């Protein structure tokens, strides 16, 4: 059996009791970066063997892992942070397990876009998760698609590309579209900046450097303007 186990996106308290038990009981733990995950497991006093499973080897190791699971071994899959397969490796393994009759269970737990969506204050009954935009080819097509969505959408973005991303979004969605930038969720310098796309682009452009991990949340095509046009930062 394969357990997909979410791990903290910053704050090490954000792991469930069940996740810790599953990691302790697994025959081995598949990890994106074994050094990063060794530190995490050490923190919780978990000594299970770690095996590399990442974007560069997943095609090669897939069948060997699934064969072992079919023989009755139970393994856990983790990524560097958050939920595996969400903008991280994992999908191929889950699909192959299902195809070959191996039971797959994904534990509920940390993922960056859910707290960003809820904290944004933008409608969250229906939403679209885009993940990372392509850097070059296909970027404009995706931006145009997003701009026309009737509901809130979310992007993962690197700090280096944040300003460019906000400017491009303002261009296709219009400068007054309400949005929110969540930076360093669950960490010491956590920040939630709310406003219009134009305000947020100007705000982050004025900073010397933007650091940390970022989720961008944008209101849908028909979303009401931000209250009194104002922005907030927490």
| Per-residue interface string for the shown chain with ligand SAM, residues 143-182, x marking contact by CB under 6 A | -------------xxx-----------------------x
Which residue among 15, 41, 86, 93 contacts ligand SAM (CB under 6 A)?
Answer: 86
| 94-123: contacts with ligand SAM (CB under 6 A) | 111-113
| Per-residue interface string for the shown chain with ligand SAM, residues 28-67, x marking contact by CB under 6 A | ----------------------------------------
Query: Residue 147 CB: number of other CB atoms within 10 A?
Result: 18
Q: Total binding residues for ligand SAM by CB under 6 A?
A: 23
Closer residue to ligand SAM (CB): 20 or 73: 20
Residue in the shown chain whose Cβ atom is closest to ligand SAM: 82
Which residue among 29, 75, 185, 218 contacts ligand SAM (CB under 6 A)?
Answer: 185
By DSSP bridging, strand 28-31 and strand 214-218 are unpaired
Q: Which residues bind ligand SAM (CB under 6 A)?
A: 9-10, 79, 81-83, 86-88, 111-113, 156-158, 182, 184-187, 213-215
């Amino acid at each position: 059996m394969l357990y997909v186990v979410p791990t903290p996106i910053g704050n090490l308290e954000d792991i469930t009791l069940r996740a810790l038990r599953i990691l302790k009981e697994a025959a081995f733990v598949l990890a994106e970066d074994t050094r990063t995950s060794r530190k995490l497991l050490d923190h919780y006093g978990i000594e299970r063997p770690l095996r590399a499973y990442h974007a560069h080897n997943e095609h090669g190791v897939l069948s060997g892992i699934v064969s072992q699971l079919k023989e009755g071994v139970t393994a856990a899959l983790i990524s560097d942070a958050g939920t595996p397969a969400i903008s991280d490796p994992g999908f191929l393994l889950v699909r192959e397990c299902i195809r070959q009759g191996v039971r797959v269970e994904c534990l509920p737990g940390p993922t960056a876009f859910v707290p960003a969506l809820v904290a944004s204050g933008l409608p969250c009954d229906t939403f679209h998760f885009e993940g990372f935009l392509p850097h070059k080819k296909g970027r404009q097509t995706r931006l145009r698609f997003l701009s026309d969505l009737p509901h809130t959408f979310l992007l993962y973005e690197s700090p280096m590309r944040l300003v460019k991303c906000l400017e491009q979004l303002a261009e296709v969605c219009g400068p007054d579209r309400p949005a929110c930038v969540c930076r360093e969720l669950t960490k010491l310098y956590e920040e939630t900046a709310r406003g219009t796309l134009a305000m947020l682009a100007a705000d982050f452009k004025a900073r010397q450097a933007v650091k940390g991990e970022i989720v961008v949340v944008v209101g849908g095509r028909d979303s009401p303007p931000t209250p009194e046009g104002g922005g907030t930062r927490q």
